[in-house]
Amino acid sequence: MSTLTKVFVVLNSILSVVVSILFVSTAAQWANYKEIADTTRAQRDAIAVKLQNTVNTSEASLALKDEEIRNLTQQIGQHTTTLATRDAELAKLRTESAETRNRALAAEAGRERLENLLEVATAETANLRAGNGDLLTRVNDLQSRNTAQNARILDLTSELTIANENGRNLQEKLYSCEQGYRDLQTQFAGGAQVAQPVSAPLGTVSTSTPPSRRVTGRVISVDGAYATVDVGETSGVVEGMTFMVYRQGGEGASYLGDLVIKKVRPKESGGVLETLVRGDVRPGDSIVYEQGL
């Protein structure tokens, strides 16, 4: 055999051995690759399922998160509105606080002014109290004197009342005596007429000199302290005459008071009632005037 053939045989043997080794290795690796592929496929499917579950869970979580986000958004809107309201209230409170502070400052100024006025008033009060002692002394003295004068006035008033009552009693007695005297004159004179002075002509005003005879009449009307009587110029009545007013009763004539003539007419006169002592004067009461009474 030639060398080339030997070399070729050797190379062929080596190649066969190498190919056999490669084939055996490839066959062994192919079984491993299939097992690895199946394992990898199973892992892939498991991972895919897990990923799908994760996706589903994530989508549910996202839906919940979206709902939470919407709720949070609504809450944020509500809180924003509340904050705006609180801001407005805070601004109002700040304004009121400023006004209160201004009023407090004004009140403080007023208080200081009142304190000043109080100090002035206190000083004036002290001055008044200083002079109050003298005034009290004078007042006590005046009160003592006034008490004495009041006692004296009461005594004089009592004496005057007694004197007036005595005077009225004397006037009533005098009038009763005069009336009894005139009745006696009438009885003894046998009804003779007493000479009467000539009266003033109708429509003329009498002189201011009261008549020298007796004038009687009656009250026509009474208006308060003003009374009208049924005698006038024709009876010799003049302004300023004072008539006694009396009332006839079961026990005789009762003196009521005086009537001072203020206005004279031909047939009637008017005057003011004075010194009334027994009730009110009424229409129909009698009046009498006689010179010298």
Amino acid at 287: I
CB 234 within 8 A of CB 188: no
22-52: per-residue pLDDT in tens? Answer: 877 777 677 676 777 788 888 888 888 888 8
- pLDDT band, very low/low/confident/very high, at 58 (cuts 50, 70, 90): confident
73-102: per-residue pLDDT in tens? Answer: 999 989 889 999 988 999 999 999 899 889
Q: Which of 278-284's residues contact partners 24+ apart within 8 Å by CB, and which partners? A: 278/254, 280/222, 281/219, 281/222, 281/227, 281/245, 281/256, 281/257, 282/219, 282/222, 282/247, 283/218, 283/219, 283/220, 283/221, 283/222, 284/218, 284/219
252-289: per-residue pLDDT in tens? Answer: 678 888 999 999 999 999 999 987 777 788 999 999 98
- pLDDT band, very low/low/confident/very high, at 242 (cuts 50, 70, 90): very high
Mean pLDDT of the chain: 79
According to DSSP, the β-strands at 242-249 and 252-264 are: antiparallel
At residue 207, the pLDDT reads: 41
Q: How many CA atoms lie within 13 A of 138 on its CB side?
A: 5
Find the helix or strand (DSSP H, E) in which 28 lies. Answer: helix 3-189
At residue 174, the pLDDT reads: 75
At residue 217, the pLDDT reads: 93
CA–CA distance from 158 to each of 21, 141, 164, 165 (Å)?
175, 26, 10, 11
Residue 230 has pLDDT above 50, yes or no: yes
At residue 184, the pLDDT reads: 72
- pLDDT band, very low/low/confident/very high, at 206 (cuts 50, 70, 90): very low
Strands (E), the chain: 214-223, 226-229, 242-249, 252-264, 269-274, 286-290
Strands (E), 54-133: none
More confident residue, 61 or 264: 264
Domains of the chain: 9-189 (no CATH), 200-290 (2.40.10.410)
CB 230 within 8 A of CB 293: no
124-169: per-residue pLDDT in tens? Answer: 888 888 888 778 888 888 888 877 877 777 667 667 766 766 676 6
